[in-house]
Structure 1
Amino acid sequence: MFSYTVTVATGSQWFAGTDDYIYLTLVGTEGCSEKTLLDKPLYNDFERGAVDSYDVTMTNDIGEILLLKVEKRKYWVHDDWYCKYITIKTPAGEYMEFPCYRWITDRKEIELRDGHARLARDEQTQIARQHRRQELEERQKLYRWKEWHPGFPLSIDANFHSDLPRDIQFDSEKGVDFVLNYTKAMENLYVNRFMHMFQSSWNDFADFEKIFVRISNTISEYVMQHWQEDFMFGYQFLNGCNPVIFEKCKKLPEKFPVTNEMVKICLERQLTLEEEIKKGNIYLADYEIMDGIPANATDPCTMQYLTAPLCLLYNNAKNKLVPIAIQLKQIPGPDNPIFLPTDNKYDWLLAKIWVRSADFQIHQTVTHLLKTHLMSEVFGIALYRQLPAVHPLFKLLVPHVRFTIAINTKAREQLICECGLFDKANGTGGGGHVRMVQRAMTLLTYKSFCFPESIRMRGLDSTEDLPYYFFRDDGLRVWDAVQSFVTEVVNIYYDDDQAVLTDTELQAFVKDVFIYGLKDNKSSGFPKTIRTIQKLIEYLTVVIFTTSAQHAAVNFGQYDWCSWIPNSPPTMRQPPPSEKGVVSVEFIIESLPDRGRSCWHLGAVWALSQFQDNELFLGMYPDEHFIEKPVKEAIEKFQTCLQGITQRITERNKDKKLPYYYFSPDRIPNSVAV
């Protein structure tokens, strides 16, 4: 007789347990066991969070176990079950681990491989090779590409969250229902009382404080107090929600004819504008991508406006980045004046507000939606389609696409769809956001996803030139930590460049991203194949950094920086001024969002800035897909490195009125899930 001890762990999430019958078959090199019902008489098996053990005895030696077959059969009604893992103690006293971390539904039996990660070249048996092929064939039927809008990266073929494969759905759909979250946000923030005055204007800037009653937040309160000041305007280019727009100005563009006479009073080093440019003290923010984007016209009672400004920034003698010239449209001319700090107070203030509004539009649609959410979904779909669960890169990347496809499906269902919540408050609603993503897709480059390269391309890599660019400094530390971790894991499984080149599953994953994510756009620079270990490490670092750190850096500051409406207007209700000297405070108030749109906006930035319940942060891998000791040691080293970065950021932020913590690893979720 050959006796095996089988231990089964059920997940702890809601509804993970089951009352259905669970059967197990062991498949070995010398044969299979009989299908065995796992059941303890008078005991309720497979409860949520339970770990149950069973003795399985057979008369024949089945040899080395290659895989397990797990089948669930209906007891009363179909009852999904989440299996974490199964362990087997063999007659020889050895332990084998079979990670699952999947929902087992009423479809059919599933097959589990033991936890050792293997490349396709490492498979020694026909059963193992066949299992890899069948798993991918089944996944490719489940995870199908679909074009949501022409010009967008392809997304999952599902119209509703409930259409998704069970393994990638949220545990609780209510938690990601945008309508419910917005409503809850507005209740928490006491803004519902303004909704009956949806289209009425605020009375003055102080009137906006009425929806600020319940806010107790260091940064947002500081923004409210200082938003009109030039230093606060400039600081947000460095460390606000969208610190990716500006770049070092090497030469003034012809379309932005700023002269030395215009700005000399702002220059503090007794240098001309041209000399300041040569010294590297002048920076440019160009919102050209906004040019020609149609404004939201979904509400016939309220006109809304967009523009595509240019803003010249100066790093002054105190190393503060301040604005020195703003042009609100792309083409210069007499009806498109260049606004200056020396102009009338309200002329200058409104010009800055227009820049902030344009910045908000690009942040939401390009920096946030396209470059983190949509691209992370592309990585996730390609992962499920092309890498089997036994592949080391599947094990490495799967924590970083957790719930991403689900949150994006919910967004398409409720948020960015026609007549969705995005249309209620945003100037690019009603289709402008779609046009912006389509335009941004033609400009997307692989280098812009390589964080150090993206910083260098904008000429912002010098800590001496910009000593307070915390987005850059913290981001580089997190990038290096991720890259070091990836390097250790890759070197465990890939001996040389040839191993990378001949890994057909890896190459299929990369090709899927290029073909469907980047629409086969060769000018993007995204690789179609990966030929070296070095390039593989870079690529995997891009995937993990984008889906975790980059998203955190541009998402979780939305409430901090955008909750004070005048600092980040989601829409403008008056056209940009075409001459100087005509702007009054009343005109600015009439330009800013009305009460209803302000409330929707505030609810949105609150809801989008909240962490998920039971959030998993960078370096936290409770699902043990890897069982090999070298990988576990690499994970521990990674966690230690991340803790050091967190401590360094915490120490720097002490007593700061404007702390920067968006790249702090203890605030970086593993994946895009909100």
Structure 2
Amino acid sequence: VKIEKKKYWVHDDWYCKYITVKTPYGDYVEFPCFRWLVDDKEVILRDGRARLPQHAKTRVAKQHRRKELEQRQKTYRWKEWHPGFPMSIDAKAHSELPRDIQFDSEKGVDFVLNYSKMNVCNNVKVTACVLCTEYVMEHWKEDFMFGYQFLNGCNPVVIRKCTEIPDKFPVTQKIVEDSLERGLTLEEELKEGNIFIADYELLDGVTPNSTDPCTLQYLAAPICLLYKNIQNKIMPIAIQLLQKPGEDNPIFLPSDDEYDWLLAKIWVRSSDFHVHQTVTHLLRTHLISEVFGIALFRQLPAVHPVFKLLLPHIRFTIAINTKAREQLICECGLFDKANGTGGGGHVELVQKSMKTFTYRSLCFPEAIKARGMDSKEELPYYFYRDDGYSVWEAVTSFVTDVVDIYYDKDETVQEDAEIQAFVKDVCKFPKSLQTKEQLVEYLTIVIFTASAQHAAVNFGQFDWCSWIPNSPPTMRKPPPTKKGEVDLKYIVESLPDRGRSCWHLGAVWALSQFQENELFLGMYPDEHFIEKPVKEAMAKFRKNLAEVVKVIKSRNEGKKLPYYYFSPDRIPNSVAV
């Protein structure tokens, strides 16, 4: 079916969902569109059946696929926003984006309203109505709460099992023996798997925010040693605030003066906030999902089954990232106004993180195992891991079902020139896929990263970061170089001022909100697929996700700190905020 639209003097963009044609025999054939017709535009639609390129037998069908991709590659162009960053879309502003990937009017207004609320401190009413937020405000000083956040807070991806104390962190048996509860030596506790570490080495050497000449801001690069006590709780037992050991870089302990220890923990929480916002959240969900999205539009035609499968999971991602580059992480944006890594530090952090970034680190089970955090017996309260496994398995099962419909054997994957071009267009990742298993894993990574992983590290921000001392976005005094010199006044003066706190509160509130008409994982109202087997796979997927919701809800009952960020009914399909 060919649709032609002529431009008139009035604004007359038309969004076409689908066209249904009744044949002379009384049958109905559906032609999915789901795109905008802008100005003088011609769109040629194929019927809704998904087809691989090697199954396009006629010259017309092959030519149509080729022309569609040629046009898309002119429209969706790569651009390097900063050296060392993942590639992004070639557009300076949201208005320059292709109409098909811009926010719809409702979503666009929503974002503008949210951003306006970030700008006015008085509009952010901090009412402790959320159970988690209230609990954080009451218990943030406690070592248990500090340790718990490494497992189930906003950034549950930094902690790893420690098998050997690094030379740069000279912790000895004598230093921590009062914190070890089992009567074992430090070396024995290491061998038993009871010692964990959080190392913020990425922050070492990053330039602090200097955009405000009236306020000095500081960064640290702490190392925190954690201990699993006899109650299976993760507790901090030693903190060093800078990477290089020395007399002016003491190791702080729970037995130190109350305010010395509290300030050391605050510095770790502030450092965790920077790594979370810039690496865990921005780089590893937003920017990576945009790369997948651009490559998808450039290399897969609308008739390709993988295009149909992935499109809902990159919905509005390029748009939100373009808005972010336009208003949030740009010069004089929110990062500069509120965060200690503003003014370019956030750029340095992404660049440093990209040097060690790997494709395998996006595979959820492998990432958990690489940190030595995979044993449920050793860490029974790591809900991020447990729920993440459940969602990963559900997504993998769904993707497997869809792949099996269109790819009968490994050779079919190898012969799919379009899927190979898609994979190759995503820089620094595998150059090709050779088996169905590899294809399933790749597509699972794309969907999981854009949906579940983003939800897990984004929507808890107000819960965990709205109480400023628990996640300071910046610090106004340098890390202490001696013990015994810190009092409450010094701590208060170290924390952000009112203005930066307001910017921070507005941001974490806005980023934690679902949209009014949010599409959650498994919801596919736009019927890109018309085949019955795919619709059956979708129904099975929703059923599996509902079971995950039920399990999580049951576990959370009666808990003072429920963990629900991986609950599928709270996981949007895509990175869109």
Give the TM-score normalised by the residue count of structure 1: 0.84
- Three-state SS of the structure 1 residue aligned to 2:41 is coil
Paired letter, 2:284: K
Q: Deviations over 1:134-165 (max 9, x none)?
A: 00011111100011111101100000000000
Distance 2:446 2:434 in 1: 17
- Tell which deviates more after alignment, 73-82 or 249-258: 73-82
- Quote the residue 1:23 is aligned against: none
Paired letter, 1:481: A
- After the TM superposition, which residues 300-311 of structure 1 pair with which residues of structure 2 at under 5 Å, given as runs? 300-311=213-224
Preserved contact between residue 118 and residue 503 of structure 2 (Cα < 8 Å): no
Q: Deviations over 1:16-69 (max 9, x none)?
A: xxxxxxxxxxxxxxxxxxxxxxxxxxxxxxxxxxxxxxxxxxxxxxxxxxxx00
Distance 2:431 2:120 in 1: 43
1:555 paired residue among 458, 463, 470: 458
- Quote the residue 1:535 is aligned against: 438
- Quote the residue 2:447 is aligned against: 544
1:565 paired residue among 463, 468, 472: 468
- After the TM superposition, which residues 173-192 of structure 1 pair with which residues of structure 2 at under 5 Å, given as runs? 173-177=108-112, 180-183=115-118, 186-190=121-125
- Quote the residue 2:383 is aligned against: 470
- Quote the residue 2:59 is aligned against: 126
5+ unaligned residues in a row in structure 1: which ranges? Answer: 1-67, 191-211, 519-525
Preserved contact between residue 169 and residue 406 of structure 1 (Cα < 8 Å): yes
Distance 2:119 2:512 in 1: 13
Paired letter, 1:630: P
- Three-state SS of the structure 2 residue aligned to 1:109 is strand
Is 2:315 the counterpart of 1:382? no
Q: CA deviation at 1:184?
A: 7.2
- Quote the residue 1:590 is aligned against: 493
Q: CA deviation at 1:254?
A: 0.5
Preserved contact between residue 114 and residue 510 of structure 2 (Cα < 8 Å): no
Paired letter, 1:410: K
Q: CA deviation at 1:264?
A: 1.0
2:411 paired residue among 481, 484, 498: 498
- Quote the residue 1:73 is aligned against: 6
Q: CA deviation at 1:189?
A: 2.4
Preserved contact between residue 185 and residue 606 of structure 1 (Cα < 8 Å): no
Q: CA deviation at 1:124?
A: 2.2
Q: CA deviation at 1:72?
A: 1.7
Distance 1:76 1:148 in 2: 36
Paired letter, 1:175: D
Q: CA deviation at 1:107?
A: 3.0
Distance 1:232 1:561 in 2: 11
Q: CA deviation at 1:422?
A: 1.1
Paired letter, 1:570: P
Q: Deviations over 1:185-242 (max 9, x none)?
A: 744424xxxxxxxxxxxxxxxxxxxxx4x33111111000000000000000000000
- Quote the residue 1:144 is aligned against: 77
Q: Deviations over 1:633-666 (max 9, x none)?
A: 0000000000000011111111111000000000
Q: CA deviation at 1:612?
A: 1.8
RCO higher in structure (CA 8 A, sep ≥6): 2
Distance 1:376 1:490 in 2: 21
- Quote the residue 1:340 is aligned against: 253
Is 2:559 the counterpart of 1:656? yes
- Three-state SS of the structure 1 residue aligned to 2:355 is helix
Preserved contact between residue 189 and residue 215 of structure 1 (Cα < 8 Å): no
Paired letter, 1:346: Y
- After the TM superposition, which residues 213-252 of structure 1 pair with which residues of structure 2 at under 5 Å, given as runs? 214-252=127-165
Q: CA deviation at 1:130?
A: 0.7
- After the TM superposition, which residues 450-461 of structure 1 pair with which residues of structure 2 at under 5 Å, given as runs? 450-461=363-374
How many aligned positions are there?
575
Q: CA deviation at 1:357?
A: 0.3
Is 2:190 the counterpart of 1:277? yes
Q: CA deviation at 1:111?
A: 0.6
Preserved contact between residue 479 and residue 545 of structure 1 (Cα < 8 Å): yes
- Three-state SS of the structure 2 residue aligned to 1:86 is strand
- After the TM superposition, which residues 341-490 of structure 1 pair with which residues of structure 2 at under 5 Å, given as runs? 341-490=254-403
Preserved contact between residue 202 and residue 352 of structure 2 (Cα < 8 Å): yes
More helix by share: 2
Q: CA deviation at 1:120?
A: 0.6
1:610 paired residue among 489, 513, 516: 513
Q: CA deviation at 1:550?
A: 0.3
- Tell which deviates more after alignment, 117-126 or 633-642: 117-126
Q: Deviations over 1:546-590 (max 9, x none)?
A: 000000000000000000000000000000000101010100000
Distance 1:388 1:165 in 2: 16
Preserved contact between residue 98 and residue 113 of structure 1 (Cα < 8 Å): yes
CA RMSD of aligned residues (A): 1.1
Distance 2:483 2:340 in 1: 24
- Quote the residue 1:29 is aligned against: none
Distance 2:362 2:466 in 1: 28
5+ unaligned residues in a row in structure 2: which ranges? Answer: none
Larger-gyration structure (1/2)? 1
Q: Deviations over 1:429-475 (max 9, x none)?
A: 00000000001011101111000000000000000111000000000
Q: CA deviation at 1:179?
A: 7.2
- After the TM superposition, which residues 90-169 of structure 1 pair with which residues of structure 2 at under 5 Å, given as runs? 90-169=23-102
Preserved contact between residue 174 and residue 180 of structure 1 (Cα < 8 Å): no
Paired letter, 2:416: D
